[in-house]
């Protein structure tokens, strides 16, 4: 358990942005692993099994509250402007150029946690879990177009959250979303 | 490729790189203790309060068989009841104990006849409806058992305070 607990907790907390919920989910993952201990004990795929179960349990947990964030996902259309994309790219360029890895990781982690659910969840599934757009759409029960829009807007919003730290152009700052009410500091 | 696509692609690459270099979050120190406490608590539960998968085979098999025959029994009981009601309505004076036995025998016999002619006399839509009704009954039975189990034996949540 000690070998995998950080990985399992990270998977849950990145999706939920809530350490207390992530701890509950991690506990359930390891209880299920205990029930399947005979099969997992000597399996080289134990880590993958734990990650998959953790992702599924977390998404099940989040789906219970889906109506709250799905509404936002379905209401807004993709109105991301070209200059916002350019500005967001500039922000990340600057972050990579000017910050050391540790400092950069801390800032990026904070920005990710502050994203609203409907942007953070597909973004995490795409970049961390490497799920294709269609799989994310199927899993979350939203359209393919909205998945792409939410991920794009999530990236721009992350840049906007980094902008107050002194990176990037003013256009990114204008798009800063309100902090996620579900996230804990 | 348009400039928008170029920026889109570059932004995806940069965000992906930034996210992937994130170190794993350290799990809370209380997590391991919580898991161990919950495992110990579950181990103390008697078998009949655990999931059916962990029940002894000698108990599990009869329970599954009982559930499997439950729906046919409901059908038979329904037919018997309907026949009995029709009998009572048609022959209101003929309701003694022997009449009940006779009616039951007739109902069971009619079930055999019904089974023989069922494919010929009942429209396929009705058969489909019967199958759906059967599946619904099984689903309702399963939901009822699950609901009863969750109400009678709610999961124990362990707070951090209990662990300290």
Please write the tens of the pLDDT for every residue from A77-118. 556 677 777 788 888 878 777 778 788 888 888 888 889 988
A120: tokens are 């953070």
Query: Are the C-beta atoms of A154 and A123 separated by less than 8 Å?
Result: yes
Say what the pLDDT of residue A90 is. 80
A153: tokens are 């807007």
- Look at A26 and B11 and tell me if their CB atoms are within 8 Å: no
Say what the pLDDT of residue B88 is. 64
pLDDT exceeds 80 at position B162: no
Torsion of CA A78, A57, A9, B163, to 10 degrees: 140
Highest mean pLDDT among A38-47, A119-128, B111-120: A119-128
In order of start, what are the domains of chain A with their CATH numbers? Answer: 5-63 (no CATH), 67-174 (1.10.10.10)
Integer CA distances (angstroms), B142 to A32, B59, B60, B138, B152, in order: 22, 18, 15, 6, 15
Confidence category of residue B159, pLDDT binned at 50, 70, 90: very low
Q: Which of residues 34-63 of B touch A (CB under 8 A)?
A: 34-35, 38-39, 42
Provide DSSP, A116-135. -HHHHHHHHHHHTS---HHH
Would an 8 Å CB–CB cutoff place A90 in contact with chain B? no
The Cα A18–Cα B30 span in angstroms is: 16
What is the number of structural domains in chain B? 1
The 10s digit of each residue's pLDDT in B63-77 is 888 888 888 888 888
B51: tokens are 């999931």
Query: Strands, DSSP E only, in A6-118?
Result: none
For residue A6, give the nearest of B12, B27, B38 by CB distance.
B27
Backbone region of residue B130 per phi and psi (left: phi > 0; alpha: psi in -120 to 50; beta: other values): alpha
The Cα A45–Cα A52 span in angstroms is: 11
The Cα A181–Cα A178 span in angstroms is: 8
Mutate to test the interface with B, among A34, A107, A168, A184 (most CBs of B within 10 A): A34
The Cα A152–Cα A73 span in angstroms is: 12
- Look at A82 and B3 and tell me if their CB atoms are within 8 Å: yes
- Look at A30 and B17 and tell me if their CB atoms are within 8 Å: no
Confidence category of residue B89, pLDDT binned at 50, 70, 90: low
Say what the pLDDT of residue B154 is. 55
Closest chain A residue to B24 measured between Cα atoms? A10
Lowest mean pLDDT among A72-76, A155-159, B129-133, B148-152: A72-76
Mean pLDDT of A144-150: 90
* Beta carbons within 10 angstroms of residue A77's beta carbon: 9
Mean pLDDT of B141-160: 66
Would an 8 Å CB–CB cutoff place A38 in contact with chain B? no
Residue B91, domain extent: 3-163
Higher pLDDT, A158 or A183: A158
């Amino acid at each position: 358990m000690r070998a995998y607990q950080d990985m399992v907790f990270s998977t849950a907390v990145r999706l939920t942005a809530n350490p207390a919920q992530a701890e509950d989910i991690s506990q359930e993952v390891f209880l299920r692993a205990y029930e399947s201990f005979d099969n997992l004990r000597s399996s080289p795929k134990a880590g993958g099994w734990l990650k998959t179960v953790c992702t599924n349990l977390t998404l099940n947990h989040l789906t219970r509250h889906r109506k709250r964030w799905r509404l936002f996902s379905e209401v807004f259309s993709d109105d991301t402007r070209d200059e916002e994309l350019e500005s967001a790219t500039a922000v990340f360029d600057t972050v990579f150029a000017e910050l050391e890895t540790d400092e950069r990781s801390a800032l990026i982690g904070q920005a990710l946690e502050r994203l609203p659910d409907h942007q953070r969840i597909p973004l995490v599934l795409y970049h961390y879990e490497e799920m294709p757009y269609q799989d994310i759409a199927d899993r979350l029960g939203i359209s393919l177009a909205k998945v792409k829009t939410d991920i794009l807007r999530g990236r721009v919003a992350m840049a906007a959250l980094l902008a107050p730290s002194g990176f990037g152009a003013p256009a990114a700052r204008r798009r800063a979303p309100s902090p996620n009410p579900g996230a804990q500091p | 490729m348009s400039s928008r696509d170029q920026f889109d692609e570059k932004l995806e690459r940069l965000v992906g790189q930034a996210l992937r270099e994130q170190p794993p979050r350290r799990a809370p120190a209380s997590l391991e203790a919580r898991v161990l406490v919950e495992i110990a608590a579950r181990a103390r539960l008697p078998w009949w309060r655990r999931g059916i998968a962990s029940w002894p085979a000698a108990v599990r098999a009869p329970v599954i068989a009982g559930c499997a025959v439950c729906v046919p029994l409901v059908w038979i009981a329904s037919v018997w009841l309907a026949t009995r009601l029709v009998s009572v309505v048609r022959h209101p004076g003929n309701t003694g104990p022997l009449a009940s036995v006779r009616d039951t025998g007739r109902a069971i016999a009619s079930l055999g006849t019904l089974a023989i002619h069922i494919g010929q006399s009942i429209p396929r839509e009705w058969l489909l409806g019967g199958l759906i009704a059967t599946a619904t009954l099984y689903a309702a039975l399963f939901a009822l058992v699950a609901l009863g189990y969750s109400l009678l034996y709610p999961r124990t949540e362990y707070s951090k305070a209990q662990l300290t």
